[in-house]
Structures are given as C-alpha cells and as structure tokens.
Amino acid sequence: NAGVMQNPRHLVRRRGQEARLRCSPMKGHSHVYWYRQLPEEGLKFMVYLQKENIIDESGMPKERFSAEFPKEGPSILRIQQVVRGDSAAYFCASSDSMGETQYFGPGTRLLVL
Amino acid sequence: RKEVEQDPGPFNVPEGATVAFNCTYSNSASQSFFWYRQDCRKEPKLLMSVYSSGNEDGRFTAQLNRASQYISLLIRDSKLSDSATYLCVVSNNAGNMLTFGGGTRLMVKP
C-alpha cells in the first residue's frame, strides 16, 4: 500500500525557469494539501485541493504559484519564473476526508540557482 | 507572535532520560492537535494526536490544556532513535489547514 508519492525528489532550476512538482496521494485519498518548508523554518500551509477543485489557497503566494488536482493524474504545484527565495522543501500531504489525519510525502527539494 | 510557538532547543539528553516539550498556540478556535516527528531532511510523520483528557502511547504522553492553549509531550526512557525534531501541530476549525510550530530538536546521547 504505497504512501504519498512525490516527484521529483530533487529539482534544480535557474532563475526564471518553471518548476513543476507532482504529488500522488495515498490510495483512496481525495484530499491533497501542499506545504512549504524554508531552510531552518517550520512547514507553512500553501493550498488545499480536492479533485478538480481548489478549496483553500490562503497560503499561496499571489503571483507565480498555482496548483491543480485534475480528475485523472497527480496534483501539480507549478512555480513560474522561479527566484532564489523559492528554494525550499515542498511537501504534499493527503487525507481521505477533510479533518482527518494528513499523511505526508517525502517532499521535493527545489534549489534555484 | 507566531501561531504555534515551541522552544527550538536543542535538548541534549542521555539515554534513559525523561524529557518534556511544551508548545503554545494562539488561535483559541483550533480544533485538533498533534505531535509530529521530523527526521533530518525527511517528511513529518504523525507521532500522536493530543486530547484534552491526555493520551499515552508507550513511552510518549501528550497533554492538552485548552484554557491555557498549551500542549505538552513527555518522552520517558529516551532512546537514541528518539533523536529528531518534534513538531507541535494545530489544525484550524475546518480541519483542513495544519499550522506547524518551528519544532523542538531532541538529541539523545549514549
């Protein structure tokens, strides 16, 4: 029973490029959450999605960041025109319903050169 | 003021010691409370949920005081493998957003 899967595990981008981070929730889970952990800091909520819907994006930066969770396939966190300050670990979590325990994936470590 | 505050540590303790971590949260409407554990460069893993009545799981005991908005974690008989960062986590009243403390680092020495 595979857990939450994220890929790539490590991603290197130059300033101005786009980063696409993918998350496949645990089997049977339809709720996905994205969190960002900057170096030496705690995790910060970014966005909460259900299939084809963004439910809460209060933690997402207003520009350059977007997220989707299509009917088929993984959830995608997209960062356009990356800057050095975007370098962080991005964790995805999933749950089988709202309010239930969130299980985390291994994270994607983004490095912007 | 941070929404969830923890002493960052590190707490350096010998094997077999008892160690306690505390955490305070600012949002009185918070509904659920957890302790997660995060190893270096790994994802957070749920250690235990925290209830007002207090709960115990083996060597770990968690307590919640809603009136004081205070959460604690007690680890008895520390093992080397307990070395990690312990994250105090609070969910909002909808249960969809987790707010993490900055973590308390524990190092158990032989």
pLDDT at A53 over 90: yes
Q: What percent of chain A has pLDDT over 70?
A: 97
Q: What is the pLDDT of residues A20-36, one digit of tens each?
A: 999 999 998 999 999 99
pLDDT at A89 over 90: yes
DSSP A89-112: EEEEEEESSTTSPPEE---EEEEE
The confidence score (pLDDT) of residue A41 equals 84
For chain B, state the CA radius of gyration.
13
Check if A38 contacts B (Cβ < 8 Å). Answer: no
Mark yes or no for CB contact A58/B97 under 8 Å: yes
Mark yes or no for CB contact A98/B43 under 8 Å: no
CB of B91 within 8 A of CB of B31? yes
Mark yes or no for CB contact B97/A48 under 8 Å: yes
The confidence band for A2, taking pLDDT boundaries of 50, 70 and 90, is confident
Choose, out of A26, A38, A104, the residue to mutate when testing the contact with B (most B CBs < 10 Å). Answer: A104
Separation between Cα atoms, residue B61 and residue A93, nearest integer Å: 25
